[in-house]
Amino acid sequence: MALRQYWDLRFPAQGERLSFPAAREKLLHLLKETVKLHMISDVPVGFLLSGGVDSTAMLSLALDQTDQELSTFTIGFEGEHFADERPYARMAAERFGTGTSK
């Protein structure tokens, strides 16, 4: 087996300098575009919603990109060594109208 590098991470010496508000707007634009491209489907789209900031933010962006109804799904674990995020996922689903409480 031969090891070979298949990618290289390079940063330009003189990168684009953005103000904080401009960088925020650019990031939001890129996130919206990415979510929009991932929403292209000929079947219903659903979200695995953890209740955390990242999945909730992606759900919010997805709802802005479609007029279709989205479903959210959550998996939870119980026990002493697990953090149960289901209540937070339920709150997010209720806030965005995407899930049914069980």
The tens digit of pLDDT for each residue in 68-80 reads 888 999 988 888 8
Question: Is 12 part of a structural domain of the chain?
Answer: no
What would you report as the CA-atom Rg of the chain, rounded to the nearest whole angstrom? 19
Take residue 82 and report the two structure tokens written for it.
């697990």
pLDDT higher than threshold 80 for residue 11: no
- 18-47 per-position pLDDT tens digit: 899 999 999 999 999 999 998 888 888 888
User: What integer pLDDT is reported at residue 58 of this predicted model?
Assistant: 94
Question: Is 40 part of a structural domain of the chain?
Answer: no
Confidence of residue 101 (pLDDT cuts 50, 70, 90): very low
Collapsed DSSP state (helix, strand, coil) of residue 30: helix
Read out DSSP for 42-86?
SS--EEE--SSHHHHHHHHHHHHH-SS--EEE-----STT----H
User: What integer pLDDT is reported at residue 100 of this predicted model?
Assistant: 56
CA-nearest of 37, 61, 47 to 89 is: 47
Question: Is 37 part of a structural domain of the chain?
Answer: no
pLDDT, the chain, mean:
87
Question: Is 65 part of a structural domain of the chain?
Answer: yes
Question: Is 25 part of a structural domain of the chain?
Answer: no
Expressed as residue numbers, the domain containing 83 is: 45-102
Take residue 51 and report the two structure tokens written for it.
């209740």
Question: Is 21 part of a structural domain of the chain?
Answer: no
Cα 51 from Cα 57, distance rounded (Å): 10
Question: Is 94 part of a structural domain of the chain?
Answer: yes
Q: Tell me how many domains the chain contains.
A: 1
pTM, full prediction: 0.74
Confidence of residue 51 (pLDDT cuts 50, 70, 90): confident
Question: Is 16 part of a structural domain of the chain?
Answer: no
